Chain A
Amino acid sequence: MTPTDRTHRTVDVLVVGAGPAGLAVAARLAAAGVDRVEVLDREQRAGGIPRHCDHTGFGLRDLRRVMTGPDYARHHIAAAIRAGAVLRTGVTATGWAAPRTVDVTGPTGLERITATAVVLATGARERPRSARLVPGTRPAGVFTTGQLQQAVHVHHQSVGRRAVIVGAERVSYSAVATLRRAGAEVAAMVTDQPRHQTHPARHLGTRLRHGVPLVTGATVAELTGRVRLESVRLRHRDGRTAAIGCDTVVFTGDWIPDHELARSAGIALDPGTRGPATDAEFRTGEPGVFAVGNLLHPVETADIAALDGRFAAAPVLRHLTGVPWTPGPLPVRVEAPLLWISPNRLTPDGPRPPHGRFTLRTERFLTRPVLTVSQDGRTLHRGRLPHTAAPNRPFHLPADWIAGADAHGGPVRITAD
């Protein structure tokens, strides 16, 4: 054997990532009679992020019932296998050898897999402390929620005794629960926003039950401590700073798609989501390559990712029958304070996005904003949102205006005021 020998294989559909989105699309395709549907995951176990989310609340939108993250992961794994998809874990897609041809590494060796359709379902991750450019020393005790959850729920490792949580969105409250489970005290939650960004009941419960104070309008100015974290210094909006003594800090939220495989294929990314630019049919700019789940919208709940997978099955099937690859020609762009929109390419006479709506994010609270859709100065839609748009939470824009867009015109722009 030479150092670079690879086994070559061909499959019908190769799904990269065995989280809710990847498993759901694989299950649908296999159930629809596609012969060889193969799902790869680089982790030792399939299931994606829900594997280590040891709390309830999963499955409401796709399964119409509620279960824990690990149970939800098991459900989707079983469904995909039952439908006839092949699940392979501990196998890493390392790059592209040709269009729709992926090189992989696993314990059994190197392979090169060519597929008629490749579905990228590689998910998202939280930006670590370094990417947020938080200054200070580099002590132990600095986590993201993902790392914290795996340490506590999967590996039963000890974490610190007293923690500060950076962020006050949905995942931040999961971090509180995980820390409490590990026996750590939560000294404070910190957000740069004027208030938390989760359901009021969840916030109140956390505050009352665990007595966790919420510090609003503050950013992390510095971490201190040589070997282990000693304090988190905060800067308040008015410029004054204060230090909170703690041995653990969890940076939550601030999601970025795990877009490495997409980007290394040269697939165009959307400037807002940083995931592949896709249309309502989950098509990327690269023929035969689809993208689903939180790779497209960092981050939505697991059931929304799974629904993506379900919706994507039909366009993948159409591709397998030889329908030409014509992804949506029009880019959809947002302007500040909006951060991103998904999907972000469209075909005026094509299908509507799932549920007939787009998903957006804002960088600050907007009280019942008016959303305006325009193209080349022409207004296609204008409507007031019936509620406040909060950062780190989805809100939606109906898609019934897309037929009025000019397929040969400039980008479609979404503004909020």
Chain B
Amino acid sequence: MTVTTTGDLPDEVYDVAIIGAGVVGTAIARELARYRLRIALVEASDDVGNGTSKANTAILHTGFDATPGTLEARLVREGYQRLTAYAAETGIPLEPLGALLVAWDGEQLAALPSLAEKAVRNGYHETAVLGTEAVYAREPHLGPGALGALEVPGESVICPWTTTLAYATQAVRAGVALHLNCPAGAITTGVDHHEIATPRGVLRTRHLVNAAGLYSDEINRRLGHEEFTVTPRRGQLIVFDKFARGLVDHILLPVPTALGKGVLVAPTVYGNVLLGPTAEDLDDKTATGSSAGGLASLREKGARILPELLEEEVTAVYAGLRAATEHGDFQIRADPGRRYVAVGGIRSTGLTASMAIAAHVAQLLVDCGLDPGPEREIESVRMPTIGEAFPRPYQRADLIAADPAYGTVVCHCERVTRGEIRDALTATVPPASLDGLRRRTRALAGRCQGFFCGAAVRAQFEAATAAQDRTEARR
């Protein structure tokens, strides 16, 4: 098992290198790990899933509203099936709540039948148009004025962090080398391999996959391609307290209109309620801050959809950037001459589509001359239970009896135990920061945001990190 965060890269020529360890890059690494290949997954930041993958709406889409016939429509549909099965196998938190596209005016109401038809063209046959009464019967706390809704039973909420981490964990255990803190610089393409300059030395690889998310256009240009430009589209979101969870039981999607996609209200798998996102086209790929205007506009829209939501406490505010391009579809392109596949323009549906994208990319690599050899069985993984749909460790007498650390609650708001934090700190892909620990365990993610547990969680994190440093120093 190889995860490196510092030092020189190993002096070898990989069969495939993947730039970018987001949900797409890790999914590709996991897919390719099923073959006897030497694979490197390189990531600029200190953790997997640290860009768009960590800050999104966390929804598993059926693909009912995709543009029929696009690559995105196909990969979302396939990805939905694959990830649903994978989540059940690995313990990725997932709740099939179903969605309601609520119509608030005549134009939106009129759009519902055509959305139902579009769903059919996307191979999704389960939608139903609901009248006002049926809508309020399902969601009694909805604001006044809902005229009807399209019900999409398959839409689900999922944990984006565990998804990326499960892919990465399984890939690393199957032999993929994960190199963190390793931003890709200049790329030289030779006759039989690429040389990628990084601050940690040269990375050599025969085949190259660009899954660099917001930066995929820049990597693409280094390979001589100009097909797309990424324009970061910011989405700000507000996470409400767990006490808001009783107010809503479906994903409340806006009806897409000429004015854009709009704002949703959705439960999270951790038992909170999410309001967002905004959609702001920016030119700064690091502008992940929230703004007063953005938050005010979300609250205004949320007040109409679910008025009581605004009475609840806010637990967190975050903003993510989606990799929008000038094209309407995913930009997945192979260049067999250069043994190169670009995976660009993966927007908010990338989480859903990730496993299907990975399978598609694997096929494109074969088209680029990669001989994967025979497929093999790889060890399955089981992820920690951080969703609320199944008993968490603090609720499990059997776990606590075996190890009292699972009965010692450290983070009180999220009821994260000392044992879970310890496990995360010694996992295959350990966190490099308290933020990374939060995404793996929920510690520090609750309503007090560290008032009670911040110092204690930090102490446990720093003790484990210091112990690891000592071990590495001895080597």
A contact residues vs B (CB 8 Å cutoff): 1-6, 42-43, 90, 92, 94, 105-110, 125-131, 133, 135-138, 140, 143-144, 146-147, 150-151, 154-155, 157, 221-222, 224, 226, 256, 258, 260, 263
> Which of B295, B318, B401 is in CB contact (< 8 Å) with A109?
B401
Instruction: Give residues of chain B (385-415) contacting chain A, Cβ–Cβ below 8 Å.
Output: 391, 394-401, 404-405, 407-409, 412-413, 415
Write the chain A residue with the least CB distance to B434: A140
Per the bound structure, the CA–CA distance linking A90 and B405 in Å amounts to 11
For residue B93, give the distance in angstroms from its CB to the closest CB of chain A. 18
> Which of B286, B397, B434, B452 is in CB contact (< 8 Å) with A2?
B397
Is there an interface contact between A135 and B415, defined as CB atoms closer than 8 Å? no
Interface residue? B448 (CB, 8 A): yes
Is there an interface contact between A221 and B408, defined as CB atoms closer than 8 Å? no
Is there an interface contact between A92 and B412, defined as CB atoms closer than 8 Å? yes
Per the bound structure, the CA–CA distance linking A146 and B451 in Å amounts to 5
For residue A21, give the distance in angstroms from its CB to the closest CB of chain B. 17
Is there an interface contact between B455 and A150, defined as CB atoms closer than 8 Å? yes
Interface residue? B7 (CB, 8 A): no
For residue B288, give the distance in angstroms from its CB to the closest CB of chain A. 7
Is there an interface contact between B449 and A130, defined as CB atoms closer than 8 Å? yes
Instruction: Give residues of chain B (318-364) contacting chain A, Cβ–Cβ below 8 Å.
Output: 318
Is there an interface contact between B391 and A3, defined as CB atoms closer than 8 Å? yes
Per the bound structure, the CA–CA distance linking A155 and B409 in Å amounts to 18
Is there an interface contact between B415 and A3, defined as CB atoms closer than 8 Å? no
* Given the contacts A130-B449, A131-B315, A224-B289, A151 and B458 also touching, CB distance less than 8 Å: yes
Write the chain A residue with the least CB distance to B396: A3
Interface residue? B67 (CB, 8 A): no
Interface residues on B, range: 35 or more
For residue A135, which residues in chain B have a CB less than 8 angstroms away from its CB?
Answer: 289-292, 294-295, 317
Is there an interface contact between B289 and A4, defined as CB atoms closer than 8 Å? no
For residue A222, which residues in chain B have a CB less than 8 angstroms away from its CB?
Answer: 289, 291-292
> Which of A105, A106, A125 is in CB contact (< 8 Å) with B451?
A125
Residue interface bits B303-318, CB-to-A below 8 A is 1, else 0: 0000000000111111
Write the chain A residue with the least CB distance to B243: A263
Write the chain A residue with the least CB distance to B239: A130
Interface residue? B372 (CB, 8 A): no
Write the chain A residue with the least CB distance to B236: A135
Interface residue? B153 (CB, 8 A): no
Per the bound structure, the CA–CA distance linking A135 and B234 in Å amounts to 14
Write the chain B residue with the least CB distance to A153: B455
Interface residue? B454 (CB, 8 A): yes
Is there an interface contact between B397 and A5, defined as CB atoms closer than 8 Å? yes
Per the bound structure, the CA–CA distance linking A14 and B399 in Å amounts to 26
* Given the contacts A3-B398, A106-B407, A133-B295, A155 and B456 also touching, CB distance less than 8 Å: yes
Per the bound structure, the CA–CA distance linking A106 and B404 in Å amounts to 8
Residue interface bits B431-457, CB-to-A below 8 A is 1, else 0: 000100000000000011111101110
Interface residue? B1 (CB, 8 A): no
Is there an interface contact between B397 and A147, defined as CB atoms closer than 8 Å? no
Chain A-chain B contacts (Cβ-Cβ < 8 Å), number: 135
Write the chain A residue with the least CB distance to B317: A130
* Given the contacts A94-B394, A135-B295, A105 and B400 also touching, CB distance less than 8 Å: yes
Is there an interface contact between A154 and B455, defined as CB atoms closer than 8 Å? yes
B contact residues vs A (CB 8 Å cutoff): 238-239, 243, 286, 288-292, 294-295, 313-318, 391, 394-401, 404-405, 407-409, 412-413, 415, 434, 447-452, 454-456, 458-459, 462
Is there an interface contact between A157 and B451, defined as CB atoms closer than 8 Å? no
For residue A50, give the distance in angstroms from its CB to the closest CB of chain B. 14
Is there an interface contact between B313 and A226, defined as CB atoms closer than 8 Å? no
Is there an interface contact between B397 and A42, defined as CB atoms closer than 8 Å? no
Is there an interface contact between B395 and A109, defined as CB atoms closer than 8 Å? no
> Which of B295, B412, B459 is in CB contact (< 8 Å) with A42?
B412
> Which of B243, B398, B447, B456 is in CB contact (< 8 Å) with A150?
B456
Per the bound structure, the CA–CA distance linking A157 and B434 in Å amounts to 14
Is there an interface contact between A130 and B456, defined as CB atoms closer than 8 Å? no
For residue B316, which residues in chain A have a CB less than 8 angstroms away from its CB?
Answer: 130
Is there an interface contact between B454 and A107, defined as CB atoms closer than 8 Å? no
Is there an interface contact between B315 and A110, defined as CB atoms closer than 8 Å? no
Write the chain A residue with the least CB distance to B404: A107
For residue B353, give the distance in angstroms from its CB to the closest CB of chain A. 27
Per the bound structure, the CA–CA distance linking A92 and B400 in Å amounts to 14
For residue A143, give the distance in angstroms from its CB to the closest CB of chain B. 7
For residue B456, which residues in chain A have a CB less than 8 angstroms away from its CB?
Answer: 150, 155
Per the bound structure, the CA–CA distance linking A155 and B454 in Å amounts to 11
Is there an interface contact between B292 and A138, defined as CB atoms closer than 8 Å? no
The 6 closest A-B pairs by CB, nearest first: A128-B449, A107-B404, A150-B455, A147-B454, A151-B455, A146-B451
Per the bound structure, the CA–CA distance linking A128 and B449 in Å amounts to 6
Is there an interface contact between A110 and B451, defined as CB atoms closer than 8 Å? no
Is there an interface contact between A92 and B394, defined as CB atoms closer than 8 Å? yes
For residue A138, which residues in chain B have a CB less than 8 angstroms away from its CB?
Answer: 288-289, 318
Per the bound structure, the CA–CA distance linking A125 and B449 in Å amounts to 10
Is there an interface contact between B401 and A1, defined as CB atoms closer than 8 Å? yes
For residue B450, which residues in chain A have a CB less than 8 angstroms away from its CB?
Answer: 128, 143-144, 147
For residue B462, which residues in chain A have a CB less than 8 angstroms away from its CB?
Answer: 157
For residue A256, which residues in chain B have a CB less than 8 angstroms away from its CB?
Answer: 313
Per the bound structure, the CA–CA distance linking A87 and B462 in Å amounts to 30
For residue B313, which residues in chain A have a CB less than 8 angstroms away from its CB?
Answer: 127, 131, 256
Write the chain A residue with the least CB distance to B405: A107
Is there an interface contact between A129 and B449, defined as CB atoms closer than 8 Å? yes
Per the bound structure, the CA–CA distance linking A127 and B413 in Å amounts to 13
Is there an interface contact between B415 and A94, defined as CB atoms closer than 8 Å? yes
Per the bound structure, the CA–CA distance linking A6 and B452 in Å amounts to 27
For residue B288, which residues in chain A have a CB less than 8 angstroms away from its CB?
Answer: 137-138
Instruction: Given A130-B315, A138-B288, A147-B451, output 8 extra A-B contacts at Cβ < 8 Å.
Output: A1-B398, A3-B396, A4-B396, A90-B408, A110-B395, A130-B449, A135-B289, A144-B450
For residue B290, which residues in chain A have a CB less than 8 angstroms away from its CB?
Answer: 135-136
For residue B238, which residues in chain A have a CB less than 8 angstroms away from its CB?
Answer: 133
For residue A277, give the distance in angstroms from its CB to the closest CB of chain B. 16
Write the chain A residue with the least CB distance to B311: A271
For residue A271, give the distance in angstroms from its CB to the closest CB of chain B. 9
Is there an interface contact between B400 and A109, defined as CB atoms closer than 8 Å? yes
For residue B451, which residues in chain A have a CB less than 8 angstroms away from its CB?
Answer: 125-126, 128, 144, 146-147
Write the chain A residue with the least CB distance to B449: A128
For residue A16, give the distance in angstroms from its CB to the closest CB of chain B. 12
- Which of B238, B239, B295, B450 gathers the greatest number of chain A CB atoms within 10 Å? B450
Per the bound structure, the CA–CA distance linking A2 and B314 in Å amounts to 37
For residue A224, give the distance in angstroms from its CB to the closest CB of chain B. 7
Write the chain B residue with the least CB distance to A137: B289
Per the bound structure, the CA–CA distance linking A140 and B398 in Å amounts to 37
Per the bound structure, the CA–CA distance linking A301 and B49 in Å amounts to 44
Per the bound structure, the CA–CA distance linking A109 and B408 in Å amounts to 9
Per the bound structure, the CA–CA distance linking A226 and B452 in Å amounts to 25
Is there an interface contact between B449 and A107, defined as CB atoms closer than 8 Å? no
For residue A94, which residues in chain B have a CB less than 8 angstroms away from its CB?
Answer: 394-395, 415
For residue A30, give the distance in angstroms from its CB to the closest CB of chain B. 26
For residue A4, which residues in chain B have a CB less than 8 angstroms away from its CB?
Answer: 391, 395-397
Per the bound structure, the CA–CA distance linking A107 and B238 in Å amounts to 34
For residue B452, give the distance in angstroms from its CB to the closest CB of chain A. 7
Per the bound structure, the CA–CA distance linking A260 and B401 in Å amounts to 27
Write the chain B residue with the least CB distance to A127: B313
For residue B448, which residues in chain A have a CB less than 8 angstroms away from its CB?
Answer: 125, 128, 144, 146, 258
Per the bound structure, the CA–CA distance linking A110 and B391 in Å amounts to 13
> Which of A105, A146, A147 is in CB contact (< 8 Å) with B407?
A105
Write the chain A residue with the least CB distance to B315: A130
Is there an interface contact between A3 and B292, defined as CB atoms closer than 8 Å? no
Per the bound structure, the CA–CA distance linking A163 and B317 in Å amounts to 22
Per the bound structure, the CA–CA distance linking A209 and B238 in Å amounts to 41
For residue B383, give the distance in angstroms from its CB to the closest CB of chain A. 18
Write the chain A residue with the least CB distance to B296: A133
